[in-house]
Structure 1
Amino acid sequence: MNGLQQYQRINTQTSITDADPHKLIQLLYQGALERINMAKAKLQAKDYDGKGKLIMKALDIVGALRGYLDRERGGELSERLDALYEYMERALWEANARNDIERLDEVAGLLRSIKEGWDGIREEAVSQRHVG
């Protein structure tokens, strides 16, 4: 399943058929952050089933982000991101098993940091796409 299909399966309310690859990654980050925030709310409401489903969706998104890494061109950066995504996956599993809001906050903070960097290169990424 490619990233577009993965995202559409996870978030069927958003039409992203016109999204360029950079925008798709932005949407994946946003979707993961939204799922984590909703999972925190479910956890606080003691809706453990709902929390679990949302964390699983966040895990699916992090997995899709890992799948998008370009290991050939990305070099050390893609290796570091892969390790960070793997860490996030473990942290989400632990947060789910232990009902740990602090772990959810930790993963959300990591995702926000990466998303800010990704958002910051939007103009460069789009201009390179049109040049090549």
Structure 2
Amino acid sequence: MNPMRALRQYQKVSSHAQVSEASPHRLVQMLMEGGLDRMAQAKGALARGDIAQKGLMLGKAIEIISGLRDGLEPEKAEDPAAVQRLDALYEYMSNRLVEANQVNDVEMIDEVARLLITVKTGWDAIAPQ
């Protein structure tokens, strides 16, 4: 058996186990971590001149941000306006990543990563109920 294939299969099973056992709070953290990882991978691909991989990774980061947006529930929030602002921020992040992909701009990717790190820091500070 191919050892790399075995490792990927193990990682897949391991990540599925983590997801199935995670609290909703932890799932959001995992999404944010995944988005940051994909942006870092996109930057690495861009540095290597692997434009196809860069596009794939930025596409995955955008999908993750879309997933975070889809999970917002302003109707259930104590401050619906704050949730709407977060939705607008996620929309901005997605648009910037699309633009970064089109023009191969590392600084735009870094800008979105910094924004997501800021949101994640706030999220991490909220203890799950």
Q: TM-score normalised to the size of structure 1?
A: 0.83
1:27-66 matched pairs, under 5 angstroms: 27-66=30-69
Distance in 2, Cα, partners of 1:20 & 1:70: 17
**Counterpart residue number, 2:119:** 114
Gaps of 5+ in 1: 1-10
Q: Which amino acid aligns with 1:49?
A: A
Distance in 2, Cα, partners of 1:19 & 1:56: 25
Q: Which amino acid aligns with 1:27?
A: M
Work out which of the residue numbers 79, 82, 92 in structure 1 matches 2:84. Answer: 79
Larger RCO of the pair (alpha carbons < 8 Å, separation 6+): 1
SS in structure 1 opposite 2:20? coil
Q: Which amino acid aligns with 2:23?
A: D
Deviations for 1:49-68, whole angstroms, at most 9, x for unmatched residues? 00000000000000000000
Gaps of 5+ in 2: 1-10
Distance in 1, Cα, partners of 2:24 & 2:70: 13
Deviations for 1:60-110, whole angstroms, at most 9, x for unmatched residues? 000000000011023011100000000001000000000000000000000
Per-residue deviation at 1:14? Answer: 1.4
SS in structure 2 opposite 1:69? coil
Would you say how many aligned residue pairs link Structure 1 and Structure 2?
A: 114
**Counterpart residue number, 1:93:** 98
**Counterpart residue number, 1:14:** 15
Q: Does 1:102 align with 2:103?
A: no
Percent identical among aligned pairs is: 44
Distance in 2, Cα, partners of 1:100 & 1:48: 12
1:118-129 matched pairs, under 5 angstroms: 118-121=123-126, 123=127, 125=128, 128=129
